[in-house]
Amino acid sequence: MDMGVLQNIVANSAYVSARGSVDGTAASTMRDKKFRAKLKLPHIKKSEHMKTTVDSGFDSMCVKQPIGKRLFQQYLESDATHKNACELWKDMEDYNITQEKYRVQKAQKIVNKFYESKIFCSFLEEKAVTRIKEDHNNIRGDLFKKSEQQLLKHLETKAMSGFKNSMYFLRYIQFKWLETQPIDEDWFMDFRVLGKGGFGEVHACQMKATGKMYANKKLDKKRLKKQRLRAIVEKRTLAKVHSRFIVSLAYAFQTKTNLCLVMTIMNGGDLRFHIYNVDEKNPGFDETRACFYSAQIIMGIEHLHQHRIIYRDLKPENVLLDDAGHVRLSDLGLAVELPPGKDKTKGYVGTPGFVAPEPIEHKEYDYTVDYFTLGVTLYEMIQVENTEVQRQVPQKDGKAICEGLMEKDPVKRLGFKNNESGKKYTLLKKIKETLKQHNVTRMGAFSFIKGVVIDAKDNEFYDDFSSGNVPIPWQEEMMETGVFGELKLWTPGGNLPDDLDP
């Protein structure tokens, strides 16, 4: 047996057992003790100086960042004046993730507890209260939206300063200190190769200190050279967006030879593989499955658009599946962010065969190009040409939607949000229903690159790339692997039992 094959088998079985450990209950047993020991909160004196510089805007600290939010809620629960508001906040969040069939029941409970008496929740405006009392029997994802806004506004003005004077805020600063500690390749154990890209390989890897599995996309510095701006764009874009439908970036660092992006691991392969290779004689998906993926893809695209980002490279190959069969968009190296005040961009970017006509014709274009590529992707998923014989998919609908999406004129193009012309298609209705429930060209062989010299400018660029831990995914990792809970045993005074919790 040749050594390469053997190496791969070993890497693979180690990978399988590492995966098992995170899927099951034994995540912590797979941790490397030496690295786990490095994840230690600093003495308060060591992090105190960050009090004024730390990210402490209400929305970021108390709502978006998982650890910040948890500590803020712990503070609210410890204070009699805010206890009820916190309980309502958590109940509203529960409602948002409650299955549809239990929603009415859940809403009724919340109304009884907080809206009928309204003793403790004087911050809720009369109008919102009346609406919810009238409306709570209808299943609506945004039932509590207005109330939640009022609640958060209230907490921002009434509870935030108290929080910032409490021990919980000091704890937040300690975590932020820990979050900003540099980490490097030593913190990750590499397993098998998940795929190959234009600038290097993507490996499965495990963060040693927590046991969490990730995908490590390694970009070869020498091979990257001319296209390094793309690496920066990919990193910045990934770090900016946080969606269940886009791979998230947890760490960005460099080694002597590579730039590394550590991201959500997607074990299920890409959609291209599932369309063509799983059942070669019968490519494509049935309608339900195509709708399921389309809905998730649309959620991903719309999240990007909300952040003023045009994806530009949607194709089955860039849509990856996880263990549970859900999909996320990946490979954001061709994305572009529209600067404030600008609504269009230029430049022929994308994959031939998928790109909309505007970029090809060197015209200005906007977000609608992503709906064109969605059309081509959907076309492949439902295999418009093949299904005539092999499948009983409502051909006409599928074809009509693809054509609507692949409309040459971007103004007439089907765009899902403001477009009425799509209403008649049942497939589109199905996609929209699925959406509602969701409230859920490679460069080939690697040749060694000679004669590339790394200069001072390169190093500046590499430093810009290597920004380290990305707050939200890092905090999620600390919470879901239990590290956050374990670190509660630390107090500002030293390694004493926690005196924060009653």
User: What angle, rounded to 10 degrees, do the helices at 145-158 and 83-97 form?
Assistant: 150
Question: From the list 206, 264, 368, 383, which residue makes contact with ligand ADP (rule: CB under 6 A)?
Answer: 264
**Choosing among ligand ADP, Mg ion, none, which partner's interface includes residue 270 (Cβ < 5 to 8 Å by kind)?**
ligand ADP
Q: Which stretch binds ligand ADP (CB under 6 A): 39-47, 86-94, 179-187, 195-203?
A: 195-203
Q: Of the listed 59, 91, 186, 313, which one is catalytic?
A: 313
Question: From the list 151, 189, 233, 265, which residue makes contact with ligand ADP (rule: CB under 6 A)?
Answer: 265
194 vs 335 by CB, closer to ligand ADP? 194
Whose CA is closest to 89, among 155, 171, 157, 161? 155
Separation CA 117–CA 213 (nearest Å): 47
Binding Mg ion (rule: CB under 5 A), the pick from 200, 211, 283, 333 is: 333
Rounded alpha-carbon distances, angstroms, from residue 105 to 137, 138, 151? 8, 11, 22
Shortest Cβ 322–ligand ADP spacing (Å): 8
Q: What is the number of other CB atoms lying within 10 angstroms of the CB of residue 196? A: 14
Task: Say if residues 422 and 401 touch (Cβ distance below 8 Å).
Answer: yes
Q: How far is CA 70 from the centre of its chain?
A: 19
- By CB under 5 A, the count of residues binding Mg ion is 2
Contacted by 92, from ligand ADP, Mg ion, none: CB < 5 to 8 Å by type: none
| 313 flagged as catalytic | yes
Centroid of chain to Cα 273: 22
Restricting to residues 233-252, which ones interact with ligand ADP according to CB under 6 A?
247
From candidates 300, 316, 333, 410, binder to ligand ADP by CB under 6 A: 333
DSSP state of 62: I
- State which of positions 301-320 bind ligand ADP (CB under 6 A): 317, 320
The reply on whether position 330 binds ligand ADP by CB under 6 A is yes
Nearer to ligand ADP among residue 366 and residue 480 (C-beta): 480
Collapsing DSSP states into helix, strand and coil, what is residue 152? helix
Distance of CA 183 to the CA centre of its chain: 21
Please tell me whether residue 404 binds Mg ion under the rule CB under 5 A. no
Supply the DSSP symbol for 214: E
Tell me the β-bridge partners of 365. Answer: 345
Which of 24-32, 148-156, 193-201, 285-293 is the region at the interface with ligand ADP (rule: CB under 6 A)?
Answer: 193-201
Which ranges in 406-470 belong to alpha helices (H)?
426-437, 456-465
Which of 87, 220, 270, 331 is the binder for Mg ion (CB under 5 A)?
331
The β-bridge partners of 229 are none
Give the SS3 label for residue 39. Answer: coil
Q: Site size for ligand ADP, by CB under 6 A?
A: 20
Kindly identify the residues of this chain, within the stretch 63-102, that bind ligand ADP according to CB under 6 A: none
Segment near ligand ADP (CB under 6 A); pick from 13-21, 64-72, 128-136, 328-336: 328-336
Nearer to ligand ADP, 62 or 233 (CB): 233
Among 326-334, 394-402, 415-423, 454-462, which window interacts with Mg ion (CB under 5 A)? 326-334
Could you give the CA distance from residue 221 to residue 454 in angstroms, rounded to a whole number?
Answer: 9
Q: Which residues of 409-431 are buried (b: 16+ CB within 10 A; e: fewer)?
A: ebeebbbbeebeebeebebbebb
Q: Which is nearer to Mg ion, 376 or 428 (CB)?
A: 376
What's 329's DSSP letter? E
Strand, coil or helix: 442? coil
- Of 27-35, 167-175, 184-192, 325-333, the window that binds Mg ion (rule: CB under 5 A) is 325-333
Spatial distance between the Cα atoms of 200 and 333, rounded to a whole number of angstroms: 14
Q: From the list Mg ion, ligand ADP, none, which binds 492 (C-beta under 5 to 8 Å, kind-based)? A: none
The footprint of ligand ADP (CB under 6 A) covers 194-199, 202, 215, 217, 247, 263-266, 270, 317, 320, 330-331, 333
Contacting positions for Mg ion (CB under 5 A): 331, 333
Catalytic residue positions?
313
